[in-house]
Structure 1
Amino acid sequence: MPVRVYIEDTDAGGIVYYVNYLKFMERARSEWLRALGFSQQTLLDEGTQLVVYRLACHYSKPARLDDALSVDAHVEHMGRCRMTFEQRVWRNEELLCRATVEIACLDRHTLRPRAWPEALRTVSAERQTSSA
């Protein structure tokens, strides 16, 4: 997913503020869902809420104002109620940031873990198989 760095993404030193990489990754995961035919709103309407359960992030190099970046989201593992993504932020061929993001699937009303909707599990598994 392409991302352009705007002034609002930077700190006083003109580099991307660390938390904004996480926002870029969140958008990439949302676009991954959309590419599978789902939206956050549809899942919410159906009683499913996705939340970040665990995150480990490594920052290698800074991005700066006006940089053109790309962000990827690859599913490493899908369990009954959790999914682990490996995500990276690139500037051309240069790796700037990488993260392992674990997403939990919750019941929207009780906020208790619930199994992934079958349609999402099926489409995600098919996508993983075809990209392997």
Structure 2
Amino acid sequence: MRSTLEREDFSRRLMEALARVGDDGSSPTRLAREFNRRYPGAPVTLHASRKWLNGEALPAQDKLRVLAEWLGVTPEWLRFGDSGDVRGTQRQAREAGQAVDFELARELGALSPAHREAVRALVKALRQGEASVRGGKAKRGKA
């Protein structure tokens, strides 16, 4: 009985944290996709994310840490609900938007070497373009 309540409480806190980042928690597909972008291990299934949302299962500790980091809460609060500070550290919140997209990395790894080089060249060009735009704004601001 206690484990059922723990899973349901976790689900409620997960939905609350998702709402804070603009997700209503109604889509296990969206949860799995966004989680897998941030998780370096084997991707979670739609079935697993549905179980988290419905209070049928708890994620493993490594997955819980990734969820908490993404959602800007502490792992303790997400799992147990008794942490004094619902929000994660400011560093966690700041870094959440800069997380590595592991799903993209897996997809890039599946490309042929020639296509990976093409993507690398494209990314380099995009970064140079962004740098020149930022540089142009800085020069205009000094005038």
TM-score (norm 2): 0.27
More strand per residue:
1
Say which structure is richer in helix.
2
Which protein, 1 or 2, shows the higher relative CO under an 8 Å CA cutoff with sep ≥ 6? Answer: 1
Larger radius of gyration: 2
